[in-house]
Amino acid sequence: MARRRIREDDEATADMTPMLDIVFIMLIFFIVTTSFVKEAGIDVNRPEATQASDKPSANIFIAVRENGEVWMDRRMVDVERVAANLERMLAEQPTDMVVIQADEGARHGVVVQVMDQIREAGISQISIAAEND
- Local confidence pLDDT in tens for the 133 residues of the chain: 566 665 655 667 778 888 899 999 999 988 887 766 666 667 676 777 777 777 667 788 899 999 999 999 889 999 999 999 999 988 888 888 899 999 989 999 999 999 999 999 999 889 888 877 6
Of all helices (H) and strands (E), which one includes residue 26?
Answer: helix 17-33
Is residue 58 a contact partner of residue 96, using CB atoms and an 8 Å limit?
no
Predicted TM-score (pTM) of the model is 0.67
Parallel, antiparallel, or unpaired for β 60-64 and 97-102?
Answer: parallel
Would you say the C-alpha torsion 57, 110, 107, 89 has a positive or negative sign?
positive
What is the domain partition of the chain in residue ranges?
48-132
- Domain 48-132 in CATH 3.30.420.270? The answer is yes
